[in-house]
Amino acid sequence: MGIRVPLATALDEAPAATRIGVIVFDEDITTEADLARLNAGDTGVAVHVSRMPLPLDASPAGLARTANDIAAAAASLVPSAPLDAVAYSCATGTLQLGYAAVAEAVWRARPGVPVATPITGAVKAFAALDVSRISLMTPYGEALNGLIVEHLAKAGVRTLNVAAFDAPNEVDYARISLSSLRDGARSAMHPDAEALFISCTALRGTGLVAELEQTLGRAVVTGAQVMWWEALRLAGCPLQSAGAGRLLTL
């Protein structure tokens, strides 16, 4: 060993001005890539991700386990550093558990930190875009689609039609091809709809938003996109992202 040279050390607060925690499922292979795309460049926003088990059922016991898993995932998000917002990357999971329960689970580990989700982000996004009539495209079955349609209706957003892929599980949602998503978006778009909502953060539609808006001539939003948009605003950091769709220019 050579001569030891002591170095002067100065510590700053953090490498990023804003920190957003994101909770994804253990089988999720889409959300992180989408957020990296939306947060590309020198944004001053750090994204920290933790994983939780994919919920197996919506029974009372299953929902209780989901809440505990959310709390554990929130606790593992850089425990020594402050967070400006936490995003839970599941629209239907939020609807099944209830937003209040999702937020309460996060607050067990991160008291008072604002919580974003794809479904709460969607409601706010449609208001910002002045949209009240949409087409919905999902990989879900009738029951989960119904939860989304009902929730949006209560918020004053009417779903004119629902187009769904025939995919059996969360793993296969992410395997739906980009060509299928492009074709599906064209088929899903109702002539009277003001926007297309591609729901499910597992679907790889976020990278296609600008292209689809050009093709369809209407606003297009995805679960990951609206969750990110809401998280930024809750964190007090309303960034814009070029090429990520109309919503990210607001």
Task: Give the pLDDT confidence score for residue 140 in this predicted structure.
Answer: 94
The better pLDDT of the pair 98, 238 is held by 98
Q: What is the pLDDT of residues 160-179, one digit of tens each?
A: 999 999 888 888 999 999 99
List the domain boundaries for the chain.
18-118+228-249, 120-223
In this predicted structure, the answer to whether residue 57 has a pLDDT above a threshold of 90 is no
How, if at all, do strands 45-52 and 85-88 pair? unpaired
Task: Please check whether the two domains, 18-118+228-249 and 120-223, share a CATH topology.
Answer: yes
Q: What is the pLDDT of residues 23-34, one digit of tens each?
A: 999 999 999 999
Task: Give the pLDDT confidence score for residue 241 in this predicted structure.
Answer: 82
In this predicted structure, the answer to whether residue 231 has a pLDDT above a threshold of 70 is yes
- What percent of the chain is modeled with pLDDT above 90? 85
Greatest mean pLDDT among 49-63, 163-177, 184-198: 184-198
The better pLDDT of the pair 166, 207 is held by 207
Task: Give the pLDDT confidence score for residue 17 in this predicted structure.
Answer: 85
The better pLDDT of the pair 167, 109 is held by 109
The CATH number of 120-223 is 3.40.50.1860
How, if at all, do strands 85-88 and 18-25 pair? parallel
- Roughly what angle, to the nearest 10 degrees, separates helices 223-234 and 31-38? 60
pTM for the predicted model, two decimal places: 0.94
Report the top-level CATH class of 18-118+228-249: alpha beta
How, if at all, do strands 133-138 and 158-164 pair? parallel
